[in-house]
Structure 1
């Protein structure tokens, strides 16, 4: 739905405010919510007490992808094309394309991205790995030919192996480059971000196929998974606290949403939850991120915040920065911002929800002051402490400063 169809001067009565969370019932005793939520959860993140720092994930800080989309779409079309605007943070895409097209596009993306010499963000892609395999196979052929029959001429046919690998990876690199440059032409008409599965700022509701629920009925968890080699992967899950009302009718699992974050530290997951909370909290301005900058004047709280000079930045700060910055500069700023995220005081903060849900605070476990300790084996330098008590009066949260 276009922003021109929405009232711009007020929020719904159900809009979320962290200083006005109503009293709620305890979650069911035998639900998967339990102590942490599931056997794979390592932490439940606190409500409120915002730090005001945004995550480093490529969609939110210092990446040229959003600006390329913005330039091509134009400000008006970018509003609905973008997965996040001043009205909703969409979690579902409804594409008007056939299953056959989806099938071929899926394998096109897998092959072009998997075999390309370049990875997203300018790093090295899988093409180098596969090319190294080709060179290794050639060395095996040469070694075998030398030891078996050293008088035979050089086996030039063996060169076809690495050359084939280089050719395939080279073509994949070209296709990946073209896809990243021109895929938006396809998505402009077919990538329809749903308003029916989304976190909605104006109403304070989380909309889903299972129904619409208040945002304050959800909790954030850090979920851990491990691959066959034992490498850990941590994900931010936002899960409904009362699964008896929202569980999937087919799987029986509670409703939850995954929020992608930077592949780096666990602190990035905390920053994502902090940003989502500020996005939904209408007493706070919209998070100051590039993708939301074109819509700041459409949100009443943010507009008043900016007009009062509290933002401390020009109205087109992000747009102008990306128009002039090089990829090398963006990469440097991303690394610097990751350090800011890691150094922020995420650990041992009070939890406002403990005042609204009976027994909520009883389910805590000790939390490290450095939340990144969740992702490594605890050492003597890691200090685990109990979460502080939430004050009866809502504290003055830190405004966006990043």
Structure 2
């Protein structure tokens, strides 16, 4: 019996269950592929996710988005039109940033790296000058040199920490100011309909492809960074339409392939209407709205405020445990 037959008319006929993927694979044993490691589809996906999905800050972010949605009476595509992001029981539509976002990310990275580099240089210089002063007895000259070094590095360190922490503040409080979000999404996952939609990045809301989630293959692709180290991205590829979509907007490129394997498991669990939603902090306030999830939580007696009643240190501990498991995934 299908999920739709079990749960009335909430889920569309195209809603994803592992059986549909199994049947599709059996019907399409030979299909086009792309360069990269093709990831497996799980018959029963474990409750997993990336390190970022378990961040304590996701509780406040998700609640803020929900408050905005309720205050403005937003439904459907209007949620993204107004808020430029959607992450709930029905859809995941990550923000689509303008090209200037890369410059801001670089500025924040330079700020963070520059601050710690300045601190390291000052520490080494102070240590070295003090050692010299002890052996030479020239304390006055050494303290004078330390003062001059601190005077030189202080404005540089101040600028670096401004770029780093100022960017982080704007990223959390006013992302539209920092990055400049585009008016249309890059892609959408819809649990209720089971469809994965890829949009034209140059034409707002124009679809390049909309197809059932189970028709896509997932790949890990690697590319060298500026230092030659492999950096991985998660890609969904339709083997018959030959259209691919990087999922960097939701799951940023990383040197840890296990994190993106966990991201792929998270997406399968999110879309599988035969299982409850992934139990992560950001989705907790939406769990009661999804029929499968609400029924499962009622059977298990799950505390509806499991994440929200947990202190930050406890959430952080779970996050670290998940991360340690993820880095071993292949």
TM-score, reference length from structure 1: 0.59
Higher share in helix: 2
1:46 corresponds to 2:40: yes
Q: Distance in 2 between matches of 1:290 and 1:263?
A: 22
The corresponding residue for 2:17 is 17
The corresponding residue for 1:272 is 263
Gaps of 5+ in 1: 1-6, 117-124, 141-149, 247-253, 347-370, 372-402
- Counterpart of 2:259 in 1: which secondary structure? helix
Q: How is 1:90-239 mapped onto 2 (pairs within 5 angstroms)?
A: 90-93=93-96, 103=100, 107=103, 110-112=106-108, 114-116=110-112, 126-132=114-120, 160-176=151-167, 178-180=169-171, 182-183=173-174, 197-209=187-199, 210-239=208-237
Maintained 8 Å contact 2:232/2:253: no
Greater CA drift, 268-277 or 79-88: 79-88
Maintained 8 Å contact 1:90/1:193: no
1:86 corresponds to 2:75: no
Post-superposition offset of 1:18: 1.2
Maintained 8 Å contact 2:51/2:323: no
Post-superposition offset of 1:204: 1.4
Gaps of 5+ in 2: 1-6, 129-137, 200-207
Q: How is 1:282-321 mapped onto 2 (pairs within 5 angstroms)?
A: 282-307=273-298, 309-310=299-300, 312-321=301-310
Post-superposition offset of 1:183: 1.9
CA deviation vs aligned residue, 1:151-173 (integer Å, no higher than 9, x gap): xx867766543123122124335
The corresponding residue for 1:260 is 251
- Counterpart of 2:307 in 1: which secondary structure? helix
The corresponding residue for 1:336 is 321
Post-superposition offset of 1:268: 2.6
Q: Distance in 2 between matches of 1:8 and 1:276?
A: 24
RMSD: 3.9
TM-score, reference length from structure 2: 0.70
Q: Distance in 2 between matches of 1:50 and 1:126?
A: 46
Post-superposition offset of 1:329: 4.1
CA deviation vs aligned residue, 1:116-156 (integer Å, no higher than 9, x gap): 4xxxxxxxx5411244457789999xxxxxxxxx9xx8677
